[in-house]
Amino acid sequence: MRPRRTEGRCPASPIALALVLALALAPNPRAAAEEGDVLVRAGTVETVEAGPLSPGAVLISGGKIAEVAASIDPPEGATVIDLGADATLIPGLVDVDLPNGVSGPSAEVTREVTPRFSPLPAIDWSSRAFTEALAGGSTAGGIIPSSDNVVPGLAAVVKTAGPPGEPRVVEPDAGLVISVCSDPASRNRSRTRPDSIYVRQPTNRMGVVGLLRESFARAARGVDPDPDVTLPSDGDPYEPLREAMAGGRPVLAISRTDYDILTVLRLAGEFGYAPTILGGHEAYKVADVLASARVPVVLGALRVNGPYGPERTELAWNVAGILHEAGVPVALSGGDLLEQARFAARFGLPREAALRAITIEPSRVLGVDDRLGGIAAGKDADLVALDGDPLEFTTAVRWVMVDGTIRFPRPDPSQPQED
């Protein structure tokens, strides 16, 4: 689960132990990444796309992966990090829906249809949420506008760490987000004082679907945007919907119940967009339909309590396993990705699929699989060093590397470092 903040001198602190290991195994890693090549050796390297290497080695140069093989001779002057025979090196985890990270509201709630809205200007790059995600092995992920709107806007992909003052945006436009759920209607009212912006449609699921269909139809007709339902901006505010219908822009649909998921598919057939389901709590009920339509599902964080979420969806332990068995591409999201993959594997998701669900599959959903989600030459050197099997509950994170530099644990400047 997410690491808890510790106080005082606690010899059993997992962060303190990880810090000692990182300093011992990777002396002065920041300088090494900036000044020359880095060679990382491990008992197992999970490349994800090309299968595991046991043993394995990864050569890093200029923040990118230069070579991956069972054995690599270090170039002259390279820093060598030998993790040991029991250690495992995996790609940096990718979370389609990074928790928090945004200062203030993550949607333009004054209007229901805001296709060009981006949450990027509201990101707090120093947010604790990024630190916690990094500590758990997540090196990148999506910033998704919240589901308060029928069309909340555009998703973005960012790194969870990087040099101070330097941009950490991987992809500012990773897809159009739509809400096919009860969320947009939850705060609107039709019978109350008319001095509130929330005296408007939609007030129920039928209204959500109606407004969404109207927006796609308006975009298809190319008529002037309705000032009552669109966000004024430079350019055509309906352009993202038009691009989605033309196949040039992915659509991330926030839906949890089986009937809302079927609505997403019905609208996709009507308007021609290619959807990915975000949430998918009851996707197992329509797994065969999703498989036939070749629609990926990004599952929300698994909870151990009873019916959960805004819509009190039914709890099922093996949603990921059922979807995978049906042939549906599955990704996990919502934080604590290693824990989620371990639980998913425990309840039925095959090992290889569990690793893919937190690495390459979310990268494909976000359209950044050419850079993230695997260990291969040319990809970003985003790596996670573990002291054992990734899916064992007792396995701990040693360190997390982003763009060739170890960013977690942070080296303590007060402690001596080896040359």
Q: What does the pLDDT average to over 357-372?
A: 97
Q: Give the pLDDT band (50/70/90) at residue 4.
A: very low
Give a yes or no: residue 415 inside a domain.
no
Residues 198 and 314 both lie in one domain: yes
Percent of the chain scored above 70 by pLDDT? Answer: 82
Residues 127 and 273 both lie in one domain: yes
22, 46 in Cβ contact below 8 A?
no
Length of the chain equals: 419
Q: What does the pLDDT average to over 327-355?
A: 96
Quote the CA–CA distance of 109 and 90 in Å, as a whole number: 39
Quote the CA–CA distance of 31 and 146 in Å, as a whole number: 39
Average the pLDDT over each of 27-36, 100-109, 334-343 and give the range with the smallest value.
27-36
* Maximum C-alpha span of the chain: 75
Give backbone dihedrals phi and psi of 94, rounded to 5 degrees, phi first.
-120, 120
75-86 residue pLDDT tens: 999 999 999 999
Residues 50 and 162 both lie in one domain: no
Give the other-Cβ count within 10 Å of 186's Cβ.
14
Give a yes or no: residue 361 inside a domain.
yes
The model carries a pTM of 0.85
Residues 142 and 184 both lie in one domain: yes
Average the pLDDT over each of 98-107, 123-132, 189-198, 323-332 and give the range with the smallest value.
189-198
Give a yes or no: residue 6 inside a domain.
no
Residues 53 and 85 both lie in one domain: yes
Residues 209 and 102 both lie in one domain: yes
Residues 67 and 150 both lie in one domain: no
CATH of the domain at 68: 2.30.40.10
Domain limits for position 87: 14-91+374-408
Q: What is the pLDDT of residue 418?
A: 39
Give a yes or no: residue 416 inside a domain.
no
Q: Give the pLDDT band (50/70/90) at residue 224.
A: low
Give a yes or no: residue 80 inside a domain.
yes
Give backbone dihedrals phi and psi of 247, rounded to 5 degrees, phi first.
85, 5
Q: What is the pLDDT of residue 128?
A: 92
Whether 415 has a pLDDT exceeding 60, the answer reads no
149, 179 in Cβ contact below 8 A?
yes
Give a yes or no: residue 63 inside a domain.
yes
Give a yes or no: residue 417 inside a domain.
no
Q: What is the pLDDT of residue 14?
A: 41
Q: What does the pLDDT average to over 45-59?
A: 97
CATH of the domain at 114: 3.20.20.140
Average the pLDDT over each of 190-194, 355-359, 401-405 and give the range with the smallest value.
190-194
Residues 106 and 182 both lie in one domain: yes
Give a yes or no: residue 303 inside a domain.
yes
126, 198 in Cβ contact below 8 A?
no
103, 123 in Cβ contact below 8 A?
yes
Q: Is 182 exposed, middle or buried (0-12, 13-18, 19+ CB in 10 A)?
A: middle
Residues 261 and 344 both lie in one domain: yes
Q: What does the pLDDT average to over 88-100?
A: 94
142-192 residue pLDDT tens: 999 988 899 999 999 999 999 887 889 999 999 999 999 988 887 877 766
Residues 257 and 121 both lie in one domain: yes
Residues 192 and 251 both lie in one domain: yes
Amino acid letter, 381: A
Instruction: Extract the tokens encoding 39.
Output: 């060679």
Amino acid letter, 123: I
Q: How many domains does the chain have?
A: 2
Give backbone dihedrals phi and psi of 82, rounded to 5 degrees, phi first.
-105, 110
Residues 323 and 356 both lie in one domain: yes
Per the omega criterion (within 30 degrees of 0), is the bond before 237 cis?
Answer: no
